[in-house]
Amino acid sequence: MAESSAGLGTGRASVSAVLDFAWTAGEFTATEVMAGTSLTRSTAIDAIDTLVSATVLRELPNARAAGSYRAGRPARRFMLADDLGVVIGVDAGDSHLAVTVADPIDRTLVHHRTDLDTTQTGRARRATILRQMEHALDEAGSTRDDVLAICVGVAAPVNRDGVSPPHPEGFWERTNPGLAAALSDWAPIIEVKNDAQLAAIAEGSTGAAIGCRDYVALLASDRFGGGVVVDGHVLHGAHGGVGEGVVFDHIVGVGSAFGLSLTLQSQVRAAVDAGEIGPDTAIGRLAAADRIDPRLVLTAAASGDADALLATTRVGTTLARVVGVLGSMYDPARVIVCGAVAERIEPVLAAAREVLPTQLHLPAPEILASTLGAEVVSIGAVTTARRAAREVAVPRLAERRLAARA
């Protein structure tokens, strides 16, 4: 962060240290800054005054003025200014769009989730995403001038410039239709990332991987895709393709990158066709519909329904093979099944845990269900945008404000 604060004066390292401290401190005093940063009193006060001059920190009324102090000299108190701007996190999935406008610290201002037309062209999809972002900003009472950073998650590999490679059927170009370029004038920092990588960031910051340095966040609802963390670092690759699910097209016993929702539906239909599940049973009747709601099957399995357990056990075997491949490739301590399907996925996980040790020679990773639900990618996107605001955008903002006052 010290590099991003260059230009904040000769004390830029101390200014950077105070600013970093302020992000999580709430209200604080110079004495608390000294304890949290090891700066001397004079250095801490100089850095605080610099940030107050840049209107990045705000000085609060002292304790005597607030009526809560009785004797002696009251300490000066400070906190981050509440008008620094906003960040935007976007989950642009194949069939859904979630837009979140948040402050750069911890408050969500607006969150909208809607379905997307999967037959849209890339151009129409891009227009829809931009329009929904504009609507969310407007509802939050903000403009583009207020945006510090944006992070967008897409269902495609993404290189470090925010561009997806060509896909044989055009899927990646449609799900990421030039979003980095289209958003380039929206904010100082624009990041477009693979959705599974953002799921991994969410799990590491607020989910089931807190404190874990080696894990995979497996997006598993519609298609498999893994966000891989090794030694505490999110793996990326030359084209952003680490964890791309196409590998499962070639794994015996898996056969495709289709996720658990579709796999569960196909297992129910196959069992009905094979006569293993009667067509007049509760689960068998579901097969007559165009789409089987996987939540119904998972709920029935959790309650002990034999037909539902037949299907979930077979899906668990498929999941064990998927996790076995990930375990052999990346040696994670945990694999966290993410997405909307995770809420009721325990019957599948229980079956997978029984089979998993036979699928790899390394110790089997722990398989867990995410608690972050369908918003896991949105959470990762907002977390990433806030990190960019903290490390880059706000120090740049302070630099500009100080330069304007000079």
Q: pTM for the full model?
A: 0.91
Structural domain spans, the chain: 3-81, 86-205+376-392, 208-371
Q: Are 257 and 171 in contact (CB under 8 A)?
A: no
Beta-sheet pairing, 86-92 with 147-154 = parallel
Q: Are 394 and 150 in contact (CB under 8 A)?
A: no
Which residues lie below 8 Å from residue 233, measured CB to CB, with a gap of 6+? none
The answer to whether the Cα torsion of 251, 256, 261, 266 is positive or negative is negative
Residue 202, beta-bridge partner list? none
Q: How far apart are CA 319 and CA 119, in angstroms?
A: 29
Is 176 a residue whose pLDDT tops 70? yes
CATH topology for 3-81 is Arc Repressor Mutant, subunit A (1.10.10)
Residue 152, beta-bridge partner list? 90, 192
Q: Which of 65-69, 89-93, 216-220, 389-393 has the lowest mean pLDDT?
A: 65-69
Q: Which residue has the higher pLDDT, 101 or 66?
A: 101
Q: How many Cβ atoms sit within 10 Å of the Cβ of residue 118?
A: 12
Q: How far apart are CA 220 and CA 342, in angstroms?
A: 8
Q: Are 126 and 177 in contact (CB under 8 A)?
A: yes
pLDDT digits (tens, 9 = 90+) for 135-151: 999 999 999 999 999 99
Q: Are 390 and 110 in contact (CB under 8 A)?
A: no
Detail the DSSP E strand segments found in 300-365: 334-338
Q: Are 196 and 219 in contact (CB under 8 A)?
A: yes
Q: How far apart are CA 258 and CA 255, in angstroms?
A: 9
Q: Which residue is it, tokens 């390394």? A: 362
* Maximum CA extent, the chain: 85
CATH topology for 86-205+376-392 is Nucleotidyltransferase; domain 5 (3.30.420)
Q: How far is CA 224 from the centre of its chain?
A: 16
CATH of domain 208-371: 3.30.420.40
Going by C-alpha positions, the residue among 227, 254, 246 that lies closest to residue 339 is 227
Is 203 a residue whose pLDDT tops 50? yes
Q: How confident is the model at residue 1 (pLDDT cuts 50, 70, 90)?
A: very low
Q: How far apart are CA 157 and CA 195, in angstroms?
A: 9
Residue 228, beta-bridge partner list? 216
pLDDT of residue 5: 43
pLDDT of residue 63: 57
Calculate the alpha carbon distances from 338 to 12, 233, 246 in Å: 41, 19, 18
Going by C-alpha positions, the residue among 356, 359, 373 that lies closest to residue 219 is 373
Q: Are 113 and 96 in contact (CB under 8 A)?
A: yes
Q: Quick one: tokens of 116?
A: 């997307």
pLDDT of residue 306: 97
Backbone angles phi, psi at 96, to 5 degrees: -145, 160
CB-count burial class (<10 Å; 0-12, 13-18, 19+) for 230? middle
Judge whether 86-205+376-392 and 208-371 match in fold.
yes
The answer to whether the Cα torsion of 377, 380, 384, 386 is positive or negative is positive
Amino acid identity at 139: E
Q: Which residue is it, tokens 């009667």? A: 278
Helices and strands, number each (H, E), in the chain: 14, 13
Average the pLDDT over 268-272 and give the result: 96
Average the pLDDT over 245-269 and give the result: 79
pLDDT digits (tens, 9 = 90+) for 293-330: 999 999 999 999 999 999 999 999 999 999 999 999 99
Q: Are 373 and 96 in contact (CB under 8 A)?
A: no
